[in-house]
Structure 1
Amino acid sequence: MTSAPTTQSKAAHSGSEHTAEAVEPKEQHTAKEKEKPLRERMRLLYHGHSRAAHRFRYGIVVFDLITIAFIIATSFTPDAPWIEYLDVCFGVLILIEFCARLWVSPHPARDFTHFSTWADIVAILSFLAPIVGEGLGFLRVLRTVRLLHTYQLLSNLRVDFPFFRRNEETVVAVINIIVFLFITTGLVYETQHYRNPAIGNYVDALYFTVTTLTTTGFGDITLEGSFGRLIAVSIMIFGVTLFLRLLQTLLRPQKVRYPCPGCGLQRHEVDAVHCKACGEKLNIPDEGRF
């Protein structure tokens, strides 16, 4: 009569031991992660492939977008103490992130050969130095460009968003145009709003940029001075190039990125079974849409 309960108790005890054994390695792994030096943990966030690293890098992009939105929004309001306080707060946060990125970089000195690093320095000075105010703060958008073109972030987007996998070239081309609009709009505003009554805020600068970019040129707003004319010429030249790139990606047959195991060719037709370069059989992941 007592054998069944005894057997059940042994089974329960054995199950609890297995559960404890299963939990223990996980706890040990978590403890090992916590024991890593701060610099190593930060390096994993910036260059790792874990979900936490993905979320961290997405968070930096979101912070960049919030910064740009703040710069645009404050162009419509008169100078006030609360704007200067927020300028300082953004400047301190940008400075902390900038120092952390240099701290975990394998080659900190080499980073100073990149234009995006100097753009960050200018942005930090523009937020922290009262004599500069928010001027040149629009250069923060350049760091978003650098992030979008790093291997880690592109890999994250391919893994996390099927839509990005299917339309990577088109999405990147659209983002390039949007970023170009932000940069040139900021440049037009910062160089003209003190001397040109037609450029009163970012909307006026954006209106001029879009009309120049599309070569419409209504003529109701023109930039003053020789430097202003050079800006207009640059907008037309680079803008046409970006538009041609976007049209090329839209009209070209849709392809997917998948490295061929034989020759390494990266882009193939969405329904390709064999590589068109070497004939190697492909096993392209498909969600069933094609």
Structure 2
Amino acid sequence: MNLKDIKLKKIIEILSLIFTLEIVISFILSTYNPPYQDLLIKLDYLSIMFFTFEFIYNFYYIEDKTKFFKDVYNIVDAIVILAFLLYSLQLFYSKAFLGLRVINILRILILLRIIKLRRLKENPELINFLSLLIICFISSCLIWIAESDVNPAINNFFDAFYFTTISITTVGYGDITPKTDAGKLIIIFSVLFFISGLITSLQKALKGE
């Protein structure tokens, strides 16, 4: 890879971070039912167009094409791009497919890209903080989708984030409780994932890794 390609790759990485942050902000704002919801979706389209370009670019320049699809992030990107393509073409015209709920699910899939931020080997404390933040953030997005229509205590993203954080950290004040089976399952798996991460970290610490 020559110097020009290296610079282009750096630019793509920076833009990828910017567009991922756009998706994060877009999701949070959408939970407050803003009057500019259509604008957020248009910005999401712009982000998806960039992710599509990035996906094609990375696939084109990688030598081992089979290795490309062994990366879970690339698989997630492929699913998101395909789903948004179907959404754009309106191949399956129904309220369920064209609803805002579907858009938010696709946003959550894109948010999985922020897990890449954990690749900061020189600062394990920062890695742990980001890992917990990512778990809470994505779980909060799922909780909001599952609970917002039926749970009067969860009206926006902040409510969902507050509930998810105190649940995962096992504080549990009890002022908010899940009303749906989906919400209960999300919290169960989030807490188990968090606990398993603590156990793994403790085992590594005891081994001196």
Question: Structure 2: which 5+ runs fail to align?
Answer: 89-97
Cα separation, partners in 2 of 1:218 and 1:122, compared to 1, 3 Å: farther
Q: Deviation digits for residues 56-88 of structure 1, max 9, x if unmatched?
A: 534433432232122212222346332332222
**Contact 1:138 1:186 survives alignment (8 Å):** yes
Residue 193 of structure 2 is aligned to residue 238 of structure 1: yes
Q: Which has the higher helix share?
A: 2
| Larger RCO (CA within 8 A; separation ≥ 6) | 2
- Structure 2 counterparts to residues 118-157 of structure 1, below 5 A: 118-124=75-81, 129=87, 131=98, 132-146=102-116, 148-149=118-119, 154=120
2:146 pairs, out of 191, 195, 211, with: 191
2:170 pairs, out of 210, 215, 220, with: 215
| TM-score under structure 2 length normalisation | 0.73
Q: CA deviation at 1:144?
A: 2.5
The amino acid of 1:208's aligned partner reads F
Q: CA deviation at 1:137?
A: 0.6
Give the 3-state SS of the residue equivalent to 2:105 in structure 1.
coil
The amino acid of 1:108's aligned partner reads K
Give the 3-state SS of the residue equivalent to 1:136 in structure 2.
helix
**Contact 1:198 1:204 survives alignment (8 Å):** yes
Give the 3-state SS of the residue equivalent to 1:144 in structure 2.
helix
Give the 3-state SS of the residue equivalent to 2:150 in structure 1.
coil
Q: Which has the larger radius of gyration?
A: 1
Equivalent residue pairs, number: 193
- Rounded Cα–Cα distance in structure 2 between residues aligned with 1:191 and 1:113: 30
Residue 42 of structure 2 is aligned to residue 76 of structure 1: no
- Rounded Cα–Cα distance in structure 2 between residues aligned with 1:87 and 1:186: 16
RMSD over aligned Cα, in angstroms? Answer: 3.2
Residue 156 of structure 2 is aligned to residue 201 of structure 1: yes
- Structure 2 counterparts to residues 1-290 of structure 1, below 5 A: 41=5, 44=6, 53-54=9-10, 56-78=12-34, 80-124=37-81, 129=87, 131=98, 132-146=102-116, 148-149=118-119, 154=120, 165=122, 168-243=123-198
- Rounded Cα–Cα distance in structure 1 between residues aligned with 2:74 and 2:22: 19
Cα separation, partners in 2 of 1:99 and 1:111, compared to 1, 3 Å: same
Question: Structure 1: which 5+ runs fail to align?
Answer: 1-31, 35-40, 46-51, 155-163, 256-266, 268-290
